[in-house]
Amino acid sequence: MPTLILKTRINAPREKCFDLSRSLDLHTESMKGHKEKAIGGKLTGLIGSGEQVTWQARHFGINFKMTNKITAMKKPFYFVDEMLNGPFKVLHHQHHFTAAGAGTEMTDIFTFRSPMGLIGRIIDSLFLKRYLNRLLTIRNQAIKSVAELP
């Protein structure tokens, strides 16, 4: 199963980074290019443990819906979201926050698998892994930009 690991250094306190990572409003803003918006469950604010959100977005010219749930959380150290319904066979996203000097190291561990067996695995390796890495990088840069504002 493909796994992405991204580390982002942010010059802001861990608690601030943790909360910005749970902000549905910031997520929506960072994914405007894909017309991503919350359409079900928790719609705005900070998503919490046990809460769900259904996203609608456009990727590869196709409209998608995906429902994710926060399945684990220990504030301000980590939280996990997992896809309940959507385009993937598996989607599991761990968000970790470690104090690093006066700032924070934010680590994403993002595991996914496309449906359709062998064809899905080929799609994952040929381009989906790179595409998802770019989406996570865009999201993390948005968190970093807001977190580092004075």
Cα 20 versus chain centre, distance: 11
Number of domains the chain is built from = 1
Domain that holds residue 140: 3-147
- List, for residues 50-80, the tens digit of each pLDDT value: 999 999 999 999 999 999 999 999 999 999 9
Q: What is the pLDDT of residues 75-112, one digit of tens each?
A: 999 999 999 999 999 999 999 999 999 999 999 999 99
pTM of the model: 0.94
Q: What is the pLDDT of residue 150?
A: 86
Rounded to whole angstroms, the Cα distance separating 17 from 103 reads 9
SS3 145: helix
- CATH code of the domain in which 12 resides: 3.30.530.20
User: Would you tell me how many other CB atoms lie within 10 Å of the CB of residue 75?
Assistant: 14
